[in-house]
Amino acid sequence: SIADATSRHIASSNHHPGGAEWLNVPVGLLDRPRHQVQVPFWADFKGIGGHLAIVGAPRSGKSTLLQTLVAGLGLTHDPSDVQVYAIDFGGGGLHALAAAPHVGAVHGRGDRDAIERVVRELRGIVRERSTLFRRSGLDGMTGFHRARRDGEVADSDYGEVFLVIDNWGLLTQEFPLEFQDGLADLISGGLHFGVHVVLSANRWNDIRMQVRDNIGGRLELRLNDPIESEIDRHAARAVPEDTPGRGITRTGDHFHAALPRVDGRDDVGGLGLGIEGLLERVAERWSKSVAAPPVRMLPSEVNLGDLSSSEEGRGVPIGLGEFGLEPVHVDLFGADSHLLIFGDSECGKTNLIRTLVAGLTDGYRSDELQLALVDYRRQLVGVLPNEHSFGYACTPEMTSELAARLSAELGGRLPAADLSPEALSARR
């Protein structure tokens, strides 16, 4: 178990942001045969090992090692400083840790929308911090944690954020290339801004080269074919086939992963009860700390009355945006004076027009705004208030007549051909 390995770490102050052992996580025992010792093995997420790939054949212990990593973070780091979000396409073991105060969400194969939302949320954190670092003159996460502790930055919800993915290969098979590119961008650019990715895969070839080159931390469990080792083929051959959790580090040293339990037992029997005991220990230790925030999801319905108008008073609220869940406005009186709405059948195009019409007629007087509505499907009958109606058409003939009226109205607003340049410049 990881109980003994964490006792010294918990007792010290070095696991606080900026400490010598900050982002060191206990994961097992490291074998050093030349020194004839076995020492605690710590995964270091501070430097080049900020992202971690765990590769091994099925039943080699990858999911349990991910559980141990999350448990180790929970035992040694304050949940206000470290948050974990997990995507479990493996055996479901990460769901057992969903109640930990450090864990904001765990999603499986049936949670497609939620998984996409998690990735977008973390990419949003990177974008926001990129702007914050530039504006505040922060050169890295050490300065960010210091400024956050002193109340100098407004980002109070997230510290170091870990995205843990079990079974990378299956995840990338079931999601489109656009989603995979988003994950690749998160791995390539997120580390400087405190976003870490920990993933497991059956083979190194399951991780495309663009992603693999940006992952500095690597642990390799038993492989079905040691020749596929990315670390050391000779050392990979020495990993026993019948011992899950045994593997090699990036330097070729052998290690054995710990179990995610603190009850003193060193077997996988009753691991569920062991994890429950660990969660009780973690909850007790951090009872006065702020838990990881859940990932906010877009609601299934949004009422127009709940949306605030724009600060300038010139935009119309039409819904909620996924980043920050703040109202989204359309300003047809600004730089973008035209609007196109695209979508498949039954996706909400007509409802969006209703929302836009309601916002426009509610925000402007009838002498300021008139609307001409063409509605061949007759889905918007009665939507236009009489005082705001320039005209309504639902047939080609009615549309031709409405277009002629509109053309005449706009034509009357054009300046006369004989106006002098002085007169033109004097007109509003």
What tens digit of pLDDT does each residue of 121-131 get?
A: 999 999 999 99
Separation CA 319–CA 352 (nearest Å): 9
pLDDT confidence tier of residue 327, bands split at 50, 70 and 90: confident
Show the DSSP H helices in 137-249 as ranges.
Answer: 141-149, 168-174, 177-189, 209-212, 233-237
Separation CA 255–CA 394 (nearest Å): 74
CB atoms within 10 A of CB 133: 19
- Prediction pTM value: 0.81
Give pLDDT tens digits for 7-57: 444 544 456 787 778 899 999 999 887 778 889 999 999 888 999 999 999
Separation CA 6–CA 395 (nearest Å): 75
Strands 52-55 vs 37-44: parallel, antiparallel or unpaired: unpaired
Give the sheet arrangement for strand 37-44, strand by strand. 37-44, 24-32, 254-257, 246-248, 217-221, 52-55, 195-201, 160-166, 82-88, 103-107
Show the DSSP H helices in 194-249 as ranges.
Answer: 209-212, 233-237
Q: What is the mean pLDDT of residues 143-152?
A: 87
- So what's the pLDDT on residue 12? 47
Q: What is the mean pLDDT of residues 268-275?
A: 85
Burial class (CB in 10 A: 0-12, 13-18, 19+), 335: exposed
In 3D space, the residue among 101, 113, 87, 108 whose CA is nearest the CA of residue 297 turns out to be 113
Show the DSSP H helices in 230-365 as ranges.
Answer: 233-237, 271-285, 349-363
Has residue 223 got a pLDDT over 50? Answer: yes
CB 167 within 8 A of CB 200: yes
